[in-house]
Amino acid sequence: MEAITPAYGAAVLLLIAAGAVATLLVLIMKLRLHAFVSLVLVSVLTALAAGIPVADIPAALAFGFNSTLGAVALLVGFGVMLGRLLEITGGAQVLADTLVGRFGERRAPMALGVAALIFGFPIFFDAGLVVFLPIILTVARRFGGSVLLYALPAAGAFAAMHALVPPHPGPVAAGVSLGGDIGVILLVGVPVAIISWYVGAYRVAGFLGARIQVDVPTALFGQVRNNDGTVRDSDGPSTGSGAGVATRRRTDAPSFPLVLGLLLTPMVLISLNTGASTLIQAEVISQSVLTDALRLIGNTPIALLATLLAAIALLGRRQGSMSQTSKILDESLAPICSIILITAAGGMFGGVLRVSGIGQALTDSLADLGMPLLLQAFLIATALRVAQGSATVALTTTAGLIAAPVAAAGFGDFRIALIVMAIAAGATVLSHVNDSGFWLVSRFFGMDEKTTLRTWTVMETTLGLSAFGCAALLWGGAALIGLA
């Protein structure tokens, strides 16, 4: 749905946006109204206040809700079923033990983060996070302490790769809009992502995790039922109440190569899609039946479906009959209904802000301030990120807005790559209640909204600032050596 012609000036629209966010936080955090209800209510009120025609409000609400629901529901559904199978068969414990054995107990958060950086190269943030979730929770249960110590390094790694590194859609689209070389953006983006992750996510996660206690959630993978109906922690000894920590590996657990192969399957399949799409967009190859087939099987929901089917065939038999496996899968879906609906409602709120023209009004007011292009790119992307929530929308829109001045400046591929990094950095900071990723992290790790703002929002901001700092340093270095 296209943005409407703004009914008010930029100042009024910004006040409406600020008031909407404040109202939402009061409803959820003070009045304790359910987040799903609060998000829908505030979306309707914001649409009315921003001057969206009454007849168009249902379409504006459906625009953000439907697009987010379509993107999230299949990923979360297939991912949680895959994670449940890995958890209940002991596969998550096998992978966690192997990672910790390689890195050591003290470096368990580092192990998770490094693994997420590798897996995050072709996999989108939300898909990577949901597949990695059982491993994160298994490691957190094993060593104790705040789940933030293990969750934030992994989530931050997926966020960094998604925002900064091709072939993810944001940096690719921004690079194409600015006329840059995707290969150069990749070569610049990988070290910037690694450095900014280490400084802005891994180190910050250790600081936050040591000060903010968040217990390991049990809603998704925390408990397994025995045949007699008693409850035990996943892969742990039987108990009558579910208490206790998993300390033993199942004797019939799958092997490490099998578990790793299942986790690599979506990575490989999605790589086929992203690689083919990138090469077509860069006009290296042309579209054909073969590329269409690669893009189909590498489409994220299809890739996760194929991986789930493989897991059912290879792991499900360990649970007995197919009916028992189906029961396990069915039970895994019950806890995610709330997660999917709240995340989609967050997308609805962000969609209303986009359709109302609030983000465009803000960026138009920033575009004529006469600041350096690198800083301008960062601030415009930040404004769009704060105003409407989507990092990818902030990336692509900002690139379009500054494409003309970048072309007029005659920058080479290296500096264009740095501008893409600055845009991606601005599109990362200040994730809050209009970002569907905020709600995914909040619900996956059992955090209330205040805690999510104190942890995830802070980490996303330090991650983005670190990436911008890297881009600024490289920009200054390029100026010193006279690189265009």
Q: pLDDT grade, residue 226 (50/70/90)?
A: very low
pLDDT band at 236; cut points 50, 70, 90: very low
What length is written for the chain? Answer: 484
Q: What is the pLDDT of residue 18?
A: 80
Helical (H) or strand (E) element with 406: helix 391-409
92: Cβ contacts below 8 Å, ≥ 6 apart: 83, 86, 134, 135, 137, 138, 221, 234, 235, 259
Task: Say how many C-beta atoms besides its own lie within 10 A of residue 248's C-beta.
Answer: 11
- State the DSSP code for 242: S
- Tell me what pLDDT residue 234 has: 44
Q: Are 468 and 422 in contact (CB under 8 A)?
A: yes
Burial of 361 (0-12, 13-18, 19+ CB in 10 A): buried
Q: What is the dihedral of CA 40, 151, 163, 128, to 10 degrees?
A: -90
Give the model's pLDDT for residue 179: 81
Residue 249 or residue 438, greater confidence: 438
**Among 121-125, 194-198, 232-236, whose mean pLDDT is lowest?**
232-236
Distances (CA, A) of 293 to 167, 274, 275, 277: 18, 12, 13, 11
Q: Which of 22-31, 145-154, 197-206 has the lowest mean pLDDT?
A: 22-31
Say yes or no to pLDDT of 437 above 70: yes
Give the pLDDT of residue 233.
46
Query: So what's the pLDDT on residue 133?
Result: 83
Computed over every residue of the chain, the mean pLDDT equals 79
* Residue 238 DSSP code: B
| Distance (Å, whole) CA 230 – CA 77 | 26
Quick count: other Cβ atoms within 10 Å of Cβ 251?
A: 6
Helix residue spans in 212-320 (DSSP H): 256-281, 289-297, 300-315
Question: Tokens representing 262?
Answer: 């299942």
CA distance to 47, 276, 277, 312, per residue, from 269 (Å) = 40, 11, 13, 18
Q: Where are the alpha helices (DSSP H) in 411-457?
A: 413-426, 436-444, 449-452
Is 50 exceeded by the pLDDT of residue 230?
no
Residue 53's H or E segment, with its range, is none
| CB contact at 8 A, 184 and 144 | no
pLDDT, residue 227, reads: 37
Q: Give the pLDDT band (50/70/90) at residue 1.
A: low
Half-sphere exposure of 151 (CA within 13 A, CB side): 33
Task: Over range 79-100, report the average pLDDT.
Answer: 75
Greater confidence (152 vs 321) lies with 152
Residue 36 vs residue 389, higher pLDDT: 36
Q: Which pair of tokens denotes residue 2?
A: 């296209």
Q: With contact defined as beta carbons under 8 Å apart, do 423 and 398 qualify?
A: yes
The answer to which of 172-181, 237-246, 407-416 has the lowest mean pLDDT is 237-246
pLDDT for 224: 43
Yes or no: say if 345 and 65 are a contact pair by the CB < 8 Å rule: yes
- Residues 113-130 have a mean pLDDT of 77
Determine the Cα angle at 30 with ends 25 and 31, to 5°: 105
> Which range scores top for mean pLDDT: 48-62, 208-222, 370-384, 401-415?
48-62
pLDDT at 45: 92
Q: Give the pLDDT band (50/70/90) at residue 364.
A: low
Rg (CA), the chain: 23
Structure tokens at 344: 């989609």
Is residue 229 very low, low, confident or very high in pLDDT (cuts 50, 70, 90)?
very low
- Residue 474: its pLDDT value, please? 92
- Among 338-342, 386-390, 453-457, the range of highest mean pLDDT: 453-457
What residue type is 23 in one-letter code? T
Half-sphere exposure of 34 (CA within 13 A, CB side): 9
Q: Mean pLDDT across the stretch 418-434?
A: 90
- Segment among 8-17, 417-426, 468-477 with least mean pLDDT: 8-17
Poorest-pLDDT segment among 92-106, 228-242, 326-340? 228-242
- In 3D, which of 61, 63, 73 has the Cα closest to residue 126? 73
pLDDT (mean) for 432-442:
83
State CA 334 to chain mean position distance: 22
Task: Specify the 3-state DSSP secondary structure of 231.
Answer: strand
| Confidence class for position 423, pLDDT limits 50, 70, 90 | very high
Q: Which residues contact 200 (CB under 8 A, 6 or more apart)?
A: 156, 459, 462, 463, 464, 465, 466, 467
pLDDT, tens digit, 9 for 90 and up, residues 48-70: 988 888 988 898 888 878 877 87
Residue 66: burial class (beta carbons within 10 Å; 0-12, 13-18, 19+)? middle
What mean pLDDT is predicted for residues 19-29? 81
Going from the C-alpha of 217 to that of each of 133, 148, 316, 338, 466, the distances in angstroms are: 11, 11, 24, 15, 30
Identify the residue with better confidence: 89 or 71: 89
Q: 331-344, pLDDT tens digit by residue?
A: 777 767 776 787 67
* pLDDT of residue 422 exceeding 60: yes
pLDDT at 367 over 60: no
Asked if residue 198 has pLDDT above 90, the reply is yes
pLDDT of residue 237: 36
Give the pLDDT band (50/70/90) at residue 77: confident
The CA-to-CA distance between both ends of the chain, in Å, stands at: 39
Which of 74-83, 114-123, 180-189, 194-203 is predicted most confidently? 194-203
Rounded to the nearest 5 percent, the helix, strand and coil shares of the chain are 75, 0, 25
Average pLDDT (26-43) is: 83
Single-letter amino acid code for the residue at 323: S
